[in-house]
Structure 1
Amino acid sequence: MILQNLALGLTLGAAVAIYFPMIAKSAQVLGSAPLANVPFFGIAFVSSLIIAFTTGSRLADFGKFTQIPPILLTAGVMSAGLIIGSSFLIPRIGLGTFVVLLVAGQIIAGFAFGQIGIFGIEPQQLSIAKVAGAGLVIAGVSLVSLGG
């Protein structure tokens, strides 16, 4: 199971590496990063409904949406910001630098949020190895971003 999870994580990472440039190119075609976001969310909405129904969700399950705490719904705003931000940044800094910065931001924020166990996630203590690994990622970000 661990290998399957690692493979899935790598596959999702590869998808992100092509997903963001696709959106950035769409923004260039349309001349607007916010406008380029609209069709992707429409397609994502329809795809999510299809996946939900084909994996066993029932129409009655959708009534539970009202139980979601409003703060969690801000993830939709964050998602839109991520898409629009990538459309803006990728043409300016390049895909490689963008992805490395994205990963570095995730690691740093993941450590901070992991410490406190945000949104019910099991808290994880920092270790010297984790801090050293984050330092190496930040060093890598510097080399990729500033290495000319």
Structure 2
Amino acid sequence: MNKTFYYLLAFVVGMIIAAHLAMNADVGEKIENARAANAAFWVIGAVVAVIIWLASPGRSAVSRLKDVNPLLLLAGAMGAALVLAIAVIIPRIGAGATNVLQLTGQVIAGILISQFALWSSPQESITALKVVGVVVMVGGAYMAVTL
């Protein structure tokens, strides 16, 4: 598949992430406990992930987890912490501001991850144009959040 498909898929995933985080925050508000909402979302997600894994070829790949640096598996804990944080933040500053600021942080982190080719990311150098893009994005985020 060409890169255009993956660009579009990434865009759609971004929209889904925004909806997912807002839904989690809404559940947390409705039950008055963001931690319980976060736990419920992760349990449901884990069950679905296991079903997808069991229904897919390559089930033996789990045996290779022993070869993975255990620190990389902390990504699961990081995911739970970030979804909980977003569930707390959205009711206080809104989904728009939360997602704009979150996306700005993701873009900056993504550029740095690519610059240093971390975690299987292909190396992509930081260019002057990328720096300008980040500056424009930070300015846009400021405007979107404060104006």
TM-score by length of 1: 0.91
Q: Which residue of the partner structure matches residue 57 of structure 1?
A: 58
Q: Which residue of the partner structure matches residue 81 of structure 2?
A: 81
Greater alpha carbon shift after TM alignment, 117-126 vs 75-84: 117-126
Q: Which residue of the partner structure matches residue 13 of structure 1?
A: 14
Q: Which residue of the partner structure matches residue 42 of structure 1?
A: 43
- Letter aligned with residue 118 of structure 1: L
Preserved CA contact (<8 Å) 2:114 2:121: yes
Give me the whole-angstrom Cα distance separating, in 2, the residues matched to 1:64 and 1:3: 32
SS at match of 1:119: coil
Q: Which residue of the partner structure matches residue 32 of structure 1?
A: 33
Q: Which residue of the partner structure matches residue 135 of structure 2?
A: 135
Q: Which residue of the partner structure matches residue 23 of structure 1?
A: 24
- Letter aligned with residue 48 of structure 1: A
Give me the whole-angstrom Cα distance separating, in 2, the residues matched to 1:34 and 1:145: 26
Preserved CA contact (<8 Å) 2:29 2:91: no
Greater alpha carbon shift after TM alignment, 32-41 vs 136-145: 32-41
Structure 2, unmatched stretches of 5+, are none
Q: For residue 123 of structure 1, report the CA deviation from its aligned partner.
A: 2.0
Report sequence identity in percent: 27
Give me the whole-angstrom Cα distance separating, in 2, the residues matched to 1:122 and 1:57: 24
Q: Which residue of the partner structure matches residue 90 of structure 1?
A: 90
SS at match of 2:5: helix
SS at match of 2:119: helix
Write the deviation string for residues 85-125 of structure 1: whole angstroms up to 9, x where unpaired.
11111011111111110110011112222221112422211
Greater alpha carbon shift after TM alignment, 87-96 vs 47-56: 47-56
Write the deviation string for residues 61-85 of structure 1: whole angstroms up to 9, x where unpaired.
3222222211101111110111111
Q: Which residue of the partner structure matches residue 146 of structure 1?
A: 146
